[in-house]
A and B are shown apart, each in its own frame.
Chain A
């Protein structure tokens, strides 16, 4: 028994030696394999959710993302919808948005891209307030807080 324990211990130690030796040369392929696992994607609370509709305007594109209510076990009562303006951003952004695509405008938003002042005009009681309004590398992003 004692001998078996010694052999098992040393064998495990040598497996560890091999693991460390192959770790760095194989890091890219190990990471790519890990990245394929179903849970290896960033939570929509950070990404802003998938783009549900893209509206092509004169100088920029407006991406309306799906509303994010994602919680640990299901949907939360409070969430947000993210709108991205991509391309050339005018000094004043003024748009009305129908984020649930029911052909009724849900809110109007006006953004002064110089001062970042953002004014929200809600058209229904699902709209709470402006969570984030910020310039980004691709243009501008706004998160409007929602309730169910």
Chain B
């Protein structure tokens, strides 16, 4: 099997990197341009070209440099920003406001997002209906298409969805990268169980009230997408909760700790994705023979998925989102992408190449619509 030696570089030559990038170039070209590039609208054509070049340069660099996380994070953060841009500009265009009205709820016009999924499972089982005022087959953020996308991504990537698919994760990922060193170094990692408590609570309350309680009362990302019109004490209180949680868990704590605190301590979908790590074939493995137990990987992990004890035992926990940060931090390549069933320390390059192709392709195609839309919007603003 390949590269069992310590420190084996994952870098590739320029030509080999280009060769590995070719399938991505072809497939993303098909999806971004729709197979037939249209040059009749210059800002659309330019936005598509920028997006196409951006995703493929990032993918190429993953192969060329042998590093994963920083190139993944660039696209992941752009995805989060562009999704908010797309949603907000859509809201402003349709309603002249970032808030939705009672009429939007009555007419089931609220865009659906994957964070609702944990709350709709019990009611769907008992009432045979979806407790969300959205559209089942809508062209923008329809419920059926979002569920299909999440379902397949979770099956294939497990919690990798949280670093390669979620259009919110880029927010706290981004803020966790601003400082070079953390100000707060010690946080008890038992907080990582908190999302399971949140999941239990919101699943129960949503079932009893037949309303998505997390969206109604907790979701920090309401602060950067859309929220209920402030017309009463209750709606003002909700807006206060959304903004405080966003400021605390998505901005301030990630900035001070270099950890993705919202994703680690709050998100109920993150808890479900954690469980799905049991199904996906892809995993992160520790090649104990090459590990010097420096624990740089433990410090690097933004999701509390690694512990010193775990490293000594050669175990990565189910909280891993396969972001690649620990892998990039390890100078001995002792921690690496792997495939379940394949022994640690073997087939490192094969596993990485296959995982990167699958996960990056998902992120590139999923994000391209909103990124193109954002570049087009910015170009229209400038010119």
A-side residues, CB < 8 A to B, are 2, 5-10, 12-14, 16-17, 19-21, 23-24, 27-28, 30-32, 34-35, 38-48, 70-73, 82, 132, 134-138, 141, 143
Contacts and interface: CB of A to CB of B under 8 A. Distances in A.
Given A9-B281, A46-B133, A39 B124 contact: yes
B152 A23 contact: yes
Contact of B131 (A19, A30, A43, A136): A43
B130 interface: yes
A47 B342 contact: no
Interface stretch (B82-90, B141-149, B265-273): B141-149
A6 B125 CA distance: 37
Given A10-B341, A16-B155, A70 B133 contact: no
Contact of A46 (B103, B105, B282, B340): B105
Contact of B148 (A8, A30, A43, A137): A30
Contacts of B358: 16-17, 20
B281 A40 contact: no
Main secondary structure, interface of B, reads: helix
Contacts of A12: 281, 340
B148 A16 contact: no
Contacts of B207: 72
Interface in B104-123: 105-108, 122-123
Interface residues of B, number: 54
Contacts of A132: 102, 106
Given A24-B365, A35-B136, A40 B127 contact: no
27 contacts: A2-B343, A5-B341, A5-B342, A9-B339, A9-B342, A10-B281, A13-B339, A13-B354, A13-B355, A14-B354, A21-B361, A23-B149, A27-B145, A27-B149, A28-B145, A40-B144, A43-B129, A45-B131, A46-B108, A46-B132, A70-B127, A71-B210, A72-B123, A72-B127, A135-B103, A136-B107, A137-B103
A10 B342 contact: yes
Contacts of B128: 38-39, 41
Contact of A32 (B101, B122, B144): B144
Given A12-B281, A134-B106, 13 more contacts: A5-B342, A9-B340, A10-B281, A16-B280, A17-B354, A20-B156, A27-B149, A34-B144, A39-B129, A70-B210, A72-B123, A82-B106, A136-B103
A121 to B, nearest CB: 22
Nearest to A3: B341
A31 B142 contact: yes
Nearest to B338: A9
Contacts of A7: 341
Nearest to A24: B365
User: Nearest 8 pairs between A and B by C-beta?
Assistant: A9-B341, A5-B341, A31-B144, A43-B129, A12-B281, A16-B156, A13-B281, A46-B133
B134 interface: yes
B127 A42 contact: no
B342 A6 contact: yes
B144 A6 contact: no
Contact of A41 (B101, B130, B210, B354): B130
Given A12-B281, A13-B354, A39-B130, A134 B137 contact: no
B217 interface: no
Contacts of A35: 136-137, 144
A113 to B, nearest CB: 13
Given A6-B342, A16-B156, A44-B129, A32 B137 contact: yes
B378 to A, nearest CB: 25
A39 B31 CA distance: 31
A135 B144 CA distance: 28
A137 B101 CA distance: 11
